[in-house]
Amino acid sequence: LPVTVFPNQEEASIAVANRIAALIKNKQEKGESAVLGLATGATPVKVYDELIRLHKEEGLSFKNVITFNLDEYYPMQPDAEQSYVYFMNRVLFNHVDIDRNNIHIPDGTLPEEQIHDYCLQYEKKISDLGGLDLQILGIGRTGHIGFNEPGSAPNSGTRLVTLDDLTRRDASRNFGGKENVPTKAITMGVGTIFKAREIILMAWNGTKAQIVKKAVEGAISAEVPATYLQLSDNVEFILDKDAASGLT
């Protein structure tokens, strides 16, 4: 599994942003769209900061960019401050020239009986566009990618899942207590992620060292869904030195 270690999160994030920018420009030159799989959470924020800077200061355009976010809490209203819709607007979309029609984030407002069909459509939209060119990922302390918690199957698709207790605890600060964190989420599956032509998993700081070690060096197992990434030829881990500190 290819692992690149940077001295710090800032340099690593700039490197990832530059790769995304190169992909966007390359597609632009060919008159094509760049189809990006995006993540929320703390991990990618500096990547988005740099993409915004490249847009504002260096003319990078997002007109040909189509995005699919990994996940959303369920239930969740898009205008709630804890929603991933609100988050993505705040950290990226409000600051670049992306066409709003090109943004896709799982809908946390649907009645439960409609979710199955909705998830199939989400997958179909991605494949109709030719698949994801690049998926960026963070990693949860449970070993989740997206919200594919322990027990997720390697061929899983977009679906409604139950969040792990540790994941809800880690989210509790944003919700003012774990009891306010939704128990469920809609997430792209491991199989959905695997179809991306390129996958970059990022992790920063010592709190991720243990799970990064398991993901990179541990036995492949449903107990740590990120270990499935060892089976992909298109994956790269980009770490700061603290997140990489447990690797042998």
**Which residue in the set 106, 140, 143, 225 belongs to the binding site for ligand F6R (CB under 6 A)?**
140
* Token couple for 58: 């260096």
- Bond into 75 cis (ω within 30): yes
Q: Could you say whether residue 40 binds ligand F6R (CB under 6 A)?
A: yes
Stretch that binds ligand F6R, among 35-43, 57-65, 192-200, 220-228 (CB under 6 A): 35-43
Residue placing its CB nearer to ligand F6R in the complex, 55 or 208: 208
* Token couple for 195: 């179809």
Instruction: Find the DSSP H helices in the chain.
Output: 9-29, 45-58, 84-91, 112-128, 165-175, 190-194, 209-217
Q: 179 an active-site residue? A: no
Q: Could you say whether residue 178 binds ligand F6R (CB under 6 A)?
A: no
Q: What is the DSSP letter of 242?
A: T
Q: In the window 191-230, what residues touch ligand F6R (CB under 6 A)? A: none
Mention every residue, 6+ apart, whose C-beta is less than 8 A from residue 144. Answer: 150, 152, 164, 167, 225, 226
Residue placing its CB nearer to ligand F6R in the complex, 71 or 133: 71
Please tell me which residue in 29, 149, 198, 236 is annotated as part of the active site.
149
Residues interacting with ligand F6R, by CB under 6 A? 39-43, 70-71, 138-140, 144-147
Active site positions, annotated: 149
